[in-house]
Amino acid sequence: MRHVQRRARRVGAALAAVLTWAGLLAGCSSQGSGPLGPGGAFGGPPAPGDVIRVTPADGSKAVRPGGLLRVRVPDGRLEKVTVVRSQDAQNAPVPGHISDDGLTWRPDEDRLALAAKYTVDAVALDSHGHRSARHATFTTYVPAERFIGYVTPENRATVGTGMIVSLSFSREIGDRAAVERAVHVTARPPVEIRPHWFGKGRLDFRPEHYWKPGTEVTVDLDLRDVEGARGIYGLQDKTFSFTVGRSQVSLVDAAEHTMEVRRDGRLLATVPITAGAPAHPTYNGKMVVMDMLEVTRMNSRTVGFGGEYDIPDVPHAMKLTDSGTFLHGNYWAPDAPGRVNASHGCVGLRDVKGGGSDTPAGWFFDRSLVGDVIEIVHSEDRTVAPDNGLGGWNMTWRDWKAGSAVK
């Protein structure tokens, strides 16, 4: 009897060992990684995280824009990869492509957006025919400081042929080349357009010669997330456009006290003017109408002349420089235009108080556009600086092109 019991105990122990071994086999063939690495000791399918590798890692935070987004498999093949960027409460697909060998997916544009959440969903087939799926998310760096560019001219404006596209930035730009590459100015019909930097805060664009009438110009600002200075990133991703109207170029002769107005090359009129007096001569050179005001106040203290004048209702005022040069109506010295230069540097046309439509100043104002060219000759002052207003036409094409930060 004791012999039979010992035999039963041996059989039970052997059966327990078999069951334990079977349990190990079942455990090694599960979907997770086995004790001997991906796929387990007995070749079962690996976990999705072992097959599909996402960079940046799932759950990463504050990823910098220079980080690379990649989806990879060590063997087998990626079947599908979908990436969505969530930014400013909007979702957008991230275009990309799988490599010819099927091992890697990469976005069409490497630069990551800032202040965004990325969601990655991928499906792959490994070399053993097992299909795996992977879901991953990460967020990118949220910058504390941003910059924007203020664009001249206004969107959808119709302008004169002398208009220069000018961007004034809200912060000084350290990496001017990076910012310049992110701004694209194109024209239809096509013409070569080149950039020029004035210091660290202003970037202008123009063609070699005045625009042709009817040209349509588009300004693309791809500045969002561009690092313009250390730790300071662009905010804008916008498109502006404007149309070039008819050609009007007016020639002011300070010595003759006249202005010839030419429309599309044809002389429209010769208008009497008064320019800067000998103590305050008008700049020479090509200037562009920057703004047009039916009436404005002119105070000498704002342009460094002390308290010499304060006129609250200057009519038909057209701004030519940042330093305060205007072409405007003059009602307080009606005998000066055509006879004597009596201003503090502006160009004056005969007008009446309140501005008249039938005066020389009113006639010219009604026929002008922002972007028209006013060229002044035979004055006793120097040529206006290229960055004083839109004075870039006073530079040679060679010097203008030399002002690019991209060599």
| pLDDT on residue 51 | 86
pLDDT at res. 45: 53
Beta bridge pairs of residue 90:
87
The arrangement of strands across the sheet holding 96-98 comes to: 53-55, 70-72, 104-107, 96-98
Annotate 255-293 with b (16+ C-beta within 10 A) or e (fewer). eebebbbeeeeeeeeebbbbbbbeebbbbbbbbbbbebe
Q: What SS3 state is found at 277?
A: coil
Domain boundaries in the chain? 48-139, 145-245, 248-392
CATH code, 48-139: 2.60.40.3780
pLDDT value at position 17? 38
Q: Fold identical between 48-139 and 248-392?
A: no
CATH of region 145-245, choose from 2.60.40.3710, 2.60.40.10, 1.20.810.10, 3.70.10.10: 2.60.40.3710
Which listed residue (196, 316, 328, 344) is catalytic?
328
Residues 6+ apart with CB under 8 A from 238: 220, 221
d(CA 379, CA 257): 10
Query: For the domain bounded by 248-392, which CATH number is listed?
Result: 2.40.440.10
The yes-or-no answer on residue 257 being catalytic is: no
- Joined together, the tokens standing for residue 363 give 């006639």
Beta bridge partners of 96: 107
pLDDT of residue 47: 64
Torsion over CA: 96, 97, 102, 103 (sign):
negative
Model pLDDT, residue 299: 84
Which amino acid is located at 322 in the chain? D
pLDDT attached to residue 34? 34
Our answer to whether residue 28 is catalytic in this structure is: no
List, for the chain, all residue ranges whose pLDDT scores fall below the cut of 70: 1-49, 307
Q: What does the alpha-carbon distance between residue 43 and residue 56 come to, in Å, rounded to a whole number?
A: 28
**pLDDT score, position 126:** 86
CA–CA distance, 328 with 330 (Å, rounded to integer): 6
pTM for the structure as a whole:
0.79
